[in-house]
Amino acid sequence: MGCCLRRRLCLGVGGTRALPFVRRFTPREIEAATRGFTAVLEAGGPRGTAYRARFAGGLVATVRRAGSGSRDDGQRQGNGNGNRKGKAAFYLELQLLARLNHRHVVRLRGFAEGHHARFLVFDHMENRSLKECLHDPLRTPLDWRTRLQVAIDIAAALEYLYYFCDPPVFHVSVNSTNVLMDANFVAKLSDVGVVCHDIKLATTESFQDQVEQRRAGLVFQYGVLVLELVTGQSPGGDGELVRWVQEPGFAGSMHRMVDADLGGVYDARELRDLVIVARLCTRHGSDDDGAVVSIPQIVRYLQGKLERLGGEARCG
């Protein structure tokens, strides 16, 4: 199924009959599956606390309070955004998220609505975040092929969200925390949000301008993510990695910047191609609306390079 968001979908009044692709859980099921909200996967953060949930029947999932802040503890949060949203707006958002269908976007599996709280249930990603895979010293380092495939997979997910969804009403931040890895280390974008429920607004010129600005920002964020994949270094806030890749002599130091955890096992041509992509993506700041390359160009470039090199990586 594609992601064409028809007028009747976005303007209809929400209800369970309009949500054929997701399961409705009861708040009691959510509480039981998360062991009384004690099975914490991720504490705090802008998207709230995430819980590991095992439901009766065997489904293992990740549960988040809808629209919650970092104080989510499974109890009533009187000033949470979820409690301020109307029921209709909540169901409209569910309708939009439920129709996202891409192998590199974390899938919404269900929801729950109680008197004081609403919850979203997503596919569980067994290998947690890319950030943990890259920076946790207790974990086996990702090999070069997996890192290259992550770069391709996330570019494909961004192309889907911002070029194939019509209108592109979704938003996501691209960083190693929001990239999750499943049991087979397939990368998936998480924390996809809905920035507009109104088709009429989403077709205005001002909204389209905002879309273009978000696209340019995503290109920059994607370039930083690629640098993190290559170097194994957290990007930090000082922009050191970006400054390095923008230096005229960056090619001469490329191999010294490769993550030591790779043990020197990588393809030099693929390394060059990835670093060139990162250089083009980060040539302008995230607030600059004149990005050098677009996400579709990145996808085609990387896939074309792999085909010419005889690569066997999956293509999003």
Return all residues near 94 (Cβ < 8 A) that are at least 6 apart.
Answer: 14, 19, 22, 108, 111, 120
User: What's the full length of the chain, in residues?
Assistant: 316
Identify the pLDDT of residue 313: 46
**Cβ proximity of 51 and 61 under 8 Å:** no
Identify the pLDDT of residue 73: 40
pLDDT band at 18 (very low <50, low <70, confident <90, very high): low
Backbone Cα Rg of the chain:
20
Q: Which of 106, 147, 159, 134 is nearest to 313 (CA)?
A: 147
- Model confidence pLDDT, tens digit, residues 255-314: 999 999 999 999 999 999 999 999 999 987 444 455 789 999 999 998 887 666 554 444
**Cβ proximity of 259 and 164 under 8 Å:** no
- Model confidence pLDDT, tens digit, residues 87-128: 777 888 888 898 899 999 999 999 998 877 889 999 999 999
Domain ranges of the chain: 23-123, 128-311
Question: What percent of the chain lies above the pLDDT cut of 70?
Answer: 79
Tell me, rounded to whole angstroms, the distance of Cα 300 from its chain centroid. Answer: 20
Distances (CA, A) of 162 to 69, 119, 175, 195, 255: 26, 26, 17, 12, 33
Q: Within 10 Å of residue 37's Cβ, how many Cβ atoms?
A: 18
Q: Within 10 Å of residue 289's Cβ, how many Cβ atoms?
A: 11
Max avg pLDDT among 11-20, 70-79, 92-101:
92-101
Q: Which fold has domain 23-123?
A: Phosphorylase Kinase; domain 1 (3.30.200)
CA distance 121 to 100: 14
- Model confidence pLDDT, tens digit, residues 24-48: 999 999 999 999 998 888 776 556 6
Q: Judge whether 23-123 and 128-311 match in fold.
A: no
**What is the pairing mode between strands 193-194 and 187-189?**
unpaired
CA distance 241 to 7: 44
Return all residues near 315 (Cβ < 8 A) that are at least 6 apart.
Answer: 152, 156, 303, 306
Give the tokens for residue 26.
């009861």
Architecture of the structural domain at 128-311: Orthogonal Bundle (1.10)
CA distance 242 to 278: 8
Identify the pLDDT of residue 28: 93
Which is it for the CA torsion 17, 100, 235, 262, positive or negative? positive
Mean of the per-residue pLDDT values of the chain: 82
Helix (H, G, I), strand (E, B) or coil at 103: coil
CA distance 144 to 231: 11
Return all residues near 163 (Cβ < 8 A) that are at least 6 apart.
Answer: 295, 296
Written as one letter, the residue type at 51 is Y
Identify the pLDDT of residue 74: 41
CA distance 91 to 158: 24
